[in-house]
């Protein structure tokens, strides 16, 4: 087999279904290793999702036996290297500004006020895991597994891997994946708090679509406010957190849809009591 991708095969496929934008990593013969093309196409998909009112949920999934093997190291350096790229400060700048735009895209995914779901049917490694940590919901099949192989080379996952993993799972499990350089199968990832739910391989695709369809039916204003409020409450103490709740609800309760539904509910309950 040649060491190049199939001619004219896009590294990422997109389709829309009932308000769900499905983005599929599509380099199965390369274990969905992340290239600049894949990142560019994923960026386009994320921005399309952000800016299209009819799209309610973004689902990221993959073809082949891996979800993603991380960055494609065989593709060579596809980033712009700063003039000081061979100094410690230059390397830090390259991590922040380059890496195929990873840090900027992961941040944007985290900030978009719509739900993003990632579905892992196989191993999710390195940059693929860093991307997944920026999603709101992580679903796994029994065959999924997780690892940060950067420790094999004596470095850290440098595109928000340490920071987001520690925030999601705590330092206890961050040490396991990063310091000990040990993998985590799906059931262990669930225990760690890395994934929300694990499904049988046989029903995985159906369960994922059912969950995304459920999300697409939720109130968009509530979902957006909840996403922002949860992020803020993770950063502040309980007193400030209660202020965040009040601020968010003060806007939501002015929403005509809320007022109509609440009035109908009160009328219905009152009628039953009578």
Of the residues 193, 216, 239, the one at which a domain ends: 216
Q: Which residues contact 164 (CB under 8 A, 6 or more apart)?
A: 106, 130, 133, 134
Tell me, yes or no, whether 5 lies in a domain: no
Helix axes 102-111, 36-51, angle to 10 degrees: 20
The confidence band for 1, taking pLDDT boundaries of 50, 70 and 90, is: very low
Q: Distance from CA of residue 120 to its chain's centroid? A: 11
Tell me, yes or no, whether 1 lies in a domain: no
Q: In this structure, are 35 and 137 located in the same domain?
A: yes
Q: In this structure, are 95 and 207 located in the same domain?
A: yes
Q: In this structure, are 168 and 70 located in the same domain?
A: yes
Give yes or no for a contact between 152 and 181, defined as CB atoms under 8 angstroms apart. Answer: yes
Q: What range defines the domain where residue 268 resides?
A: 220-273
Q: CB 57: neighbour CB atoms within 10 A?
A: 26
In degrees and rounded to multiples of 5, residue 201 shows phi and psi of -55, -40
Minimum mean pLDDT range among 95-104, 180-189, 213-222, 229-238: 95-104
Q: How far is it, in rounded angstroms, from Cα 16 to Cα 13? A: 11
Res 213: pLDDT: 98
Which pair of tokens denotes residue 168? 């999601």
Give yes or no for a contact between 135 and 75, defined as CB atoms under 8 angstroms apart. Answer: no
Q: In this structure, are 108 and 166 located in the same domain?
A: yes
The structural domain count of the chain equals 2
In the DSSP assignment, the letter for residue 63 is: -
pLDDT for residue 257 is more than 70? yes
- Report the CATH number that the domain containing residue 52 is assigned in CATH: 3.90.226.10
Q: In this structure, are 252 and 195 located in the same domain?
A: no
The confidence band for 26, taking pLDDT boundaries of 50, 70 and 90, is: very high
Res 3: pLDDT: 43
Model's pTM, two decimal places?
Answer: 0.89
Q: In this structure, are 129 and 230 located in the same domain?
A: no
Pairing of strands 12-17, 20-25: antiparallel
Side-chain half-sphere exposure of 178, counting CA atoms within 13 A: 20
Give yes or no for a contact between 123 and 64, defined as CB atoms under 8 angstroms apart. Answer: no
Q: In this structure, are 164 and 35 located in the same domain?
A: yes
Q: In this structure, are 110 and 130 located in the same domain?
A: yes
Q: What is the mean pLDDT of the chain?
A: 89
């Amino acid at each position: 087999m040649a060491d190049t991708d199939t001619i004219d095969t896009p590294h990422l496929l997109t389709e829309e279904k009932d308000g769900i934008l499905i983005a599929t990593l599509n380099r199965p013969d390369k274990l969905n290793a992340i290239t600049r093309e894949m990142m560019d196409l994923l960026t386009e998909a994320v921005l399309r999702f952000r800016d299209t009112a009819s799209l309610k949920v973004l689902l990221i999934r993959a073809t082949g036996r891996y979800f993603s093997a991380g960055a494609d190291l065989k593709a060579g350096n596809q980033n712009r290297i700063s003039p000081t790229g061979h100094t410690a400060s230059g390397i830090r700048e390259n991590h922040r500004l380059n890496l195929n735009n990873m840090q900027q895209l992961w941040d944007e995914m985290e900030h978009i006020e719509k739900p993003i779901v990632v579905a892992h049917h196989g191993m999710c490694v390195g940059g693929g895991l860093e991307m997944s940590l920026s999603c709101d919901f992580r679903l796994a099949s029994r065959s999924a597994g997780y690892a940060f192989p950067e420790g094999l080379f004596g470095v850290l996952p440098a595109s928000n891997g340490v920071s987001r993993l520690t925030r999601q799972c705590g330092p206890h499990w961050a040490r396991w994946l990063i310091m000990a350089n040990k993998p985590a199968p799906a059931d262990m990832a669930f225990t760690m708090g890395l994934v929300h739910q694990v499904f049988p391989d046989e029903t995985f695709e159906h369960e994922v679509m059912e969950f995304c369809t459920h999300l697409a039916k939720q109130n968009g204003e509530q979902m957006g406010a909840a996403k922002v409020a949860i992020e803020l409450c993770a950063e502040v103490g309980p007193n400030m957190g209660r202020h965040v709740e009040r601020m968010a609800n003060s806007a939501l309760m002015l929403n005509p849809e809320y007022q109509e539904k609440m009035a109908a509910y009160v009328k219905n309950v009152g009628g039953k009591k009578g």
